[in-house]
Amino acid sequence: MTGNGQPSALSSQQETLTPELRAVLIRKLTALADDEIILAHRDGEWTGHAPILEEDIALANIAQDELGHASLYLDLRGRLDGSDPDRLAFFRDAGEFTNVRLVELPKGDWAFTMLRQFLFDAYEALWLDAARGSTYAPLAEVAAKAVREERFHLQHAALWVERLALGTEESRRRTQNALDELWPHVAQLFAPVPGEAELVAAGIVPDLGEVCTRWEGFVVPHLTGKCGLLLPMTLADAAEGRDVHTEHLAPLLAEMQGVARQHANAEVW
Amino acid sequence: MTAPHVTPEQVWSALAAVPDPEIPVVSVTDMGMVRDVAVDGGRVTVTFTPTFSGCPALHVIRESIGEAVRALGVPDVEVRSTLTPPWTTDWIQPDARERLRQYGIAPPAPAGDTPLITLDPEPTRCPRCGSLNVRMTASFGPTLCKRLYVCESCKEPFEGFKSV
């Protein structure tokens, strides 16, 4: 991932951020990017293994977009603290990643993959839609850009969830299993990072509660009404923060970062 | 050493010959990617808007723009990118749309400026026979910007540009 541009004339706005807001914004941008990087890796694991060639290509495309979004967020972070997106992606350990646990779970079967993608894409599309109104212009720009791409991911995943849920008994069983397994993890998508309320108060990022309400209004009718799936009764749990991971993240990073770490001085990987 | 003299018009026409690396029948100006050309003495600054954020052709586009301007004898070229306003397929020039169609790629439908979160894809016309009786076979094609279709009228498969 290489940065793709110079800042537009916005440095004056960055100077108006208080040091506290700046620190929280850096944390938030990193969390947003980490979700995308890890999900992109999981999607990339299907390359060469998807059920049909078209889906192989589709998921590779989606992974590429998600990495593109991570790159946009990390470029924004770089403008604030001079950090290097490649160092952040390839040279941090599991304990330093701040992705939600939803995205690091192993790729599972196709139903699991598509359902996770649907739950995440709906969240991402609606968050970006709201973030277009950010008072922090560089973020508003990024959101306006990325939301146009995210719509296609969401359409794709929604269609697959429908197809699998209403397909055969086997595909329905697998889709319901995926929902049961994934549902407890979605609450974390709507859990703010420490200090995020300050960013919301300043109009810099959308209120996650409002995004969640829209998300439920969008996702629940699709899953239950259209697809006839049963929402699990499990209480959604976001109690542990983004610094707590499952045992699945470290092996993922070992694979993702292997080449970069072995050839740390290479210009491109 | 005398400063090279180029006009913004000369730079624009040089850029009009820089092809999109993934769709060679259209240029970077046809695609509406070039937003601004500024000439200040011997220094030229070109501002362009990336199409898709994950587009792997971005660095090629950036380098090709720089090379095209340097070929005019300008040693000092800066290629910057901007995300504002975000690139939209509505910026693709009308004659380029026709070239896309002749090349076998359905041009994008109007995108407008509200990116509605919807589950329904836009209608698409077969670039070969013009029929709207088409079936999408994959919502992601060989590049980020395209989908795959089959025309139910003339039975030909084709690619369609996403409306972004």
Q: Work out the average pLDDT over B156-162.
A: 92
Chain B nearest-CA distance from A82, in A, is: 18
Which residues neighbour A157 within 8 Å (Cβ) at sequence distance 6 or greater?
A114, A115, A117, A118, A121
Please answer yes or no on whether B117 and A146 come within 8 Å at the CB atom. no
**pLDDT at position B163:** 84
In chain A, % of residues over pLDDT 90: 81
Q: Chain B residue closest to A64 (CA)?
A: B54
Identify which of B50, B54, B138 has the shortest CB distance to residue A57. Answer: B138
| CB contact B118 to A (< 8 Å) | yes
CA end-to-end distance (rounded Å), chain A: 9
**pLDDT at position A117:** 97
Phi, psi of A129 (to 5 degrees): -55, -45
ipTM over 0.90 threshold? no
Q: Which residue has the tokens 């719509």?
A: A151
CA distance B9 to B7: 5
| The two three-digit tokens of residue B105, written as one number | 């790629």
**pLDDT at position A12:** 54
Please answer yes or no on whether A6 and B137 come within 8 Å at the CB atom. no
| CB contact B112 to A (< 8 Å) | no
pLDDT of A132 over the 60 cut: yes
| CB contact B87 to A (< 8 Å) | yes
Report the predicted TM-score, pTM, of the whole model to 2 decimal places.
0.85
Please answer yes or no on whether B52 and A156 come within 8 Å at the CB atom. no
pLDDT of A266 over the 90 cut: no
Work out the number of other CB atoms within 10 angstroms of the CB of residue B147.
Answer: 22
CA distance B52 to A79: 21
CA distances from A118 to A152, A158, A242, B64 (A): 11, 6, 21, 37
| The two three-digit tokens of residue B83, written as one number | 């995300």
| The two three-digit tokens of residue A84, written as one number | 């290097």
The model's confidence at residue B119, banded by pLDDT at 50, 70 and 90, is low
Chain A nearest-CA distance from B100, in A, is: 21
CA distance A73 to A269: 20
**pLDDT at position A2:** 38
β-pairing verdict for B34-40 and B43-48:
antiparallel
Instruction: Please tell me which residue, A23 or B116, carries the higher pLDDT value.
Output: A23
| CB contact B139 to A (< 8 Å) | yes
Identify which of B118, B120, B139 has the shortest CB distance to residue A58. Answer: B139
CA distance A37 to A59: 14
| The two three-digit tokens of residue B7, written as one number | 């006009």
Among A151, A95, A111, A117, which residue's Cα sits nearest to residue A42?
A117
